[in-house]
Amino acid sequence: MTSSRSKDLAIFALAFSVAVHIALMWYMRPQIMAQVSPPSHHARSRGPMRMGERAKEAEMVHIDVMKDLEALKDSPDPETGAPLAMASGFDASEIAPAASAPVMDIAAFAVPVPAAEAAPEFSERFTIQEGVDPAITPIAPVSMEGLRQTAAKSMEETPAEAFAETMKQDLADVPLPEFEAPALPDAAKDGNLAESLASLTRTAADGKTSDFIPETSVMPTVDEKMVEAEKAAVRDLLDVSRASDLETFVTLTSKSARKGEWVYFKVQFDPGAELAVVPKDVVVLLDASGSIGNDRLKSCREAARKILRSCTNSGDRFNLVAFRDKFSYAFKEWQECSSDSFSRADKWLDRLAAHGRTDVFATIRSVLTLPRDPERPLIAMVVTDGDANAGVSATAQILSKFTALNDGLVSVYMYGVKESANRELLDVLTHGNRGESFIFGGPRWNAGSALEALAERFRDPVLSDLRVVFASDSEAEIYPQRLRNLYRGESVSLIGRAKAGTREVSFSVKGLNGQKPYEGFFTVALDGNATDESLGEEWQKEFQIDKKLR
């Protein structure tokens, strides 16, 4: 009885369990099973796939880009002295290497010389001159009569024509001409012939010779005496009495406006195609401090790689610098632009990481440890967030100290990687040192995206170290005091003011195209020009910038 009841309970429990499971499966069916569309849905026809182009986002900065132009290397014509421009694309393989050239057989050109006759015996006794070692060089007084006898004896065996011209004069009565050898450069005294020749080619048109030999290695610290010597070498090339005429190689445009007791004017210079592009030296300084962050630094590292390859020409040289509270150079010397040097630069860039504090003044000042060749413009591209938290941090001190020491020797371009960068530091410092600045305001992972566009503006220099001197009777106040270098496809401008009633202003402009100086004299009429009423405000802005540089 009990056994039968237990069996019934077991069967009931099993049936109840099955019923509960079936109920749960039915209830959960919509949540655990996939809905499958009926076959009729698959039979519907589909239209062709369409693809739309995504709208291009506005660029953060737009600067016209020019096609690459290889620098020309000027070498003087050996006959006329005029520069011969040789493109860097010249195929040197057409000329056999010096090592493979056949060696000239000098013996084939030897002229047989008859054996010397025995020295004649003279009746006079030998005397020894003071300061001469008798064991080496015995010297005796020789009379003209003895020479004549010797000549007569020799003529019996030698054609008379060989001695006829010689015996026309009494050799004892012919004084030797005085000749003063030119002083050799220091490099020649040391046996460095290549450097001495390079120094001698720096002879100016008025006869002045510069014996300045630029250094090749980065100096450990800024040597102010060397900086002054480099600036003096630039002045030596510029300050000649007969420079090439600049008027035919630049186009000048002007506009003016009268405001109160002043007449304001603006002059713009555009280079002609005849001015050859000259080789330059470029150094890229990357802020690797902790404040810039690894995302921004990574973007700037990639931009630096592009700059080396797209913004340099054949014959250019480069270097790289990382700066924090201290600075370190990638290379001890200027590097020629080549695939091998670019690869070594890439490896150096890969090792950079953001950490430490920023000493902006020490970093900018460090560009003066790079040797400046007066015949090559030197351009520094400083990439930074503009936060100076070590060393000299006051903006005014940074501006005045560096600008006074540099004095236009190095062109400084600055790129701010974030919107909060110190605009005053970037704008004023570059304005007083022949450069330009740009501040990026986009996301940090694209911080270096506009760097290449800024660098393209200084790719092709044609005239460096520009100087403007106004005639004393013009009484004009002009800014900036130091004009930027002139680059192909770019222009430079100056803005000034003179007393109302001034009809014209006159000035001269000097600049270097490699080692060749150019100078032009210009006169700008202040009446009848195109009018620009904003010139007064623009002049005031330039004036305020100049005040911060003093």
In this structure, which amino acid lies at residue 505? V
User: Can you tell me the mean pLDDT for 426-430?
Assistant: 88
Lowest mean pLDDT of 125-129, 141-145, 341-345, 349-353, name the range: 125-129
State the chain's mean pLDDT as an integer. 74
Note the helical H segments in 422-515: 423-431, 451-455
In 3D space, the residue among 392, 371, 370 whose CA is nearest the CA of residue 325 turns out to be: 392
> Does the pLDDT value for residue 27 go beyond 80?
no
Please report, as a single letter, which amino acid is at residue 128: I
Nearest to 455 by CA among 303, 327, 331, 276: 303
pTM attached to this predicted model? 0.63
Q: Is the predicted pLDDT of residue 17 greater than 60, yes or no?
A: yes
Eight-state DSSP code of residue 314: T
Residue 91's pLDDT is 43
Which residues, other chains included, contact 333 with Cβ-Cβ below 8 Å and sequence gap of 6+? 216, 217, 218
Q: What is the pLDDT of residue 508?
A: 93
The CA angle 486-489-490, to the nearest 5 degrees, is 45
95 pLDDT above the threshold of 70: no
CB-based contact 252:505 (threshold 8 Å): no
**Rounded to an integer, what distance in angstroms lies between the CA atom of residue 20 and that of residue 13?**
10
Say what the pLDDT of residue 29 is: 55
Q: For residue 236, what pLDDT is reported?
A: 93
Residue 312: pLDDT above 80?
yes
User: What are the domain boundaries of the chain?
Assistant: 244-275+462-549, 281-459
Give the pLDDT score at 126. Answer: 33
Contact 480, 545 (CB under 8 A): yes
- Helix 294-310 to helix 339-350 angle, to the nearest 10 degrees? 180
Torsion angle of the four alpha carbons 387, 392, 398, 403, in this order, in degrees rounded to the nearest 10 = -130
Residues 6+ apart with CB under 8 A from 248: 272, 274
* pLDDT at residue 121, rounded to an integer: 44
Which of 127, 172, 177 is closest to 147 using CA atoms?
A: 172
- Residue 171: per-residue pLDDT: 43
Cross-strand pairs, 271: 250
More confident residue, 313 or 201: 313
254 has a pLDDT exceeding 80: yes
> Does the pLDDT at position 364 exceed 90?
no
Predicted pLDDT at 2: 55
3-state SS assignment for residue 333: strand
Residue 59 is predicted with a pLDDT of: 45
Q: What's residue 356's pLDDT?
A: 81
Sign of CA dihedral 66, 70, 72, 73: positive
Q: Is the pLDDT of residue 499 over 70?
A: yes
Does the pLDDT at position 145 exceed 50?
yes
* Residue 221 confidence (pLDDT) above 90: no
Share of the chain above pLDDT 70, in %: 64
CA distances from 142 to 122, 127, 152, 232, 338 (A): 8, 11, 16, 56, 67
Cα 400 from Cα 227, distance rounded (Å): 17
Distance (Å, rounded) from C-alpha 443 to C-alpha 417?
Answer: 9
**Average pLDDT, integer, range 448-467:** 95
Q: For residue 504, what are its two tokens? A: 């014209």
Write down the pLDDT at residue 102. Answer: 44
CATH number of this structure's domain 281-459: 3.40.50.410
Q: How far, in Å, CA of 136 to CA of 123, rounded?
A: 22
72, 462 contact by CB (below 8 A)? no
Give tens-digit pLDDT for 266-295.
Answer: 999 999 999 999 999 999 999 888 888 899
The string of pLDDT tens digits covering residues 318-348 is: 999 998 878 889 999 999 999 999 999 999 9
Is the pLDDT reported for residue 406 higher than 60? yes
* Bigger pLDDT: 158 vs 494: 494
User: What does the pLDDT average to over 187-209?
Assistant: 43
Nearest Cα to Cα of residue 211 among 223, 203, 221, 219: 203
Residue 24, both tokens: 């749960």
- What is the spatial order of strands in the sheet that 516-525 belongs to? 244-245, 516-525, 504-513, 461-470, 486-487
Lowest mean pLDDT among 87-91, 451-455, 477-481: 87-91
Mean local confidence (pLDDT), 113-131: 41
Question: Residue 292 burial (CB < 10 Å; 0-12/13-18/19+)?
Answer: buried
Q: What's the confidence (pLDDT) of residue 291? A: 83
Q: State whether the Cα torsion 471-477-482-484 is positive or negative.
A: negative
Whether the per-residue pLDDT at 88 is higher than 90: the answer is no
Token pair in block for residue 27 = 């209830």
Single out the residue of 263, 267, 264 nearest to residue 253, CA to CA: 267
Specify the higher pLDDT residue, 455 or 38.
455
Q: What is the spatial distance between Cα 459 and Cα 461, in angstroms, rounded to a whole number?
A: 6
> What pLDDT, on the 0 to 100 scale, is given for residue 31?
47
DSSP H/E element including 230: helix 224-238
CA distance 34 to 41: 16
Give yes or no for residue 216 having a pLDDT over 50: yes
Predicted confidence (pLDDT) at residue 251 exceeds the cutoff of 50: yes
Of residues 161 and 307, more confidently modeled: 307
CATH number of 244-275+462-549: 2.60.40.10
User: Which range in 363-372, 398-407, 507-516 is most confidently predicted, on average pLDDT?
Assistant: 507-516
Peptide bond into 480 cis (omega under 30): yes
Check whether 458 has a pLDDT greater than 50: yes
Q: Are 286 and 320 in contact (CB under 8 A)?
A: yes
Please say if the pLDDT value at position 395 is more than 80. Answer: no
Say how many C-beta atoms besides its own lie within 10 A of residue 145's C-beta: 9
On the question of pLDDT at 140 being above 70, the answer is no
DSSP 118-153: PPPP-SSPP---TT--TTT-------HHHHHHHHHH
Look at residue 285 in the predicted model and tell me its pLDDT. Answer: 93
At residue 136 the predicted structure's pLDDT band, cuts being 50, 70 and 90, is: very low
Query: Please, which contacts does 73-80 make with residues 24 or more away whose CB atoms are closer than 8 Å?
Result: 73/279, 73/315, 74/276, 74/278, 74/514, 74/515, 74/516, 76/201
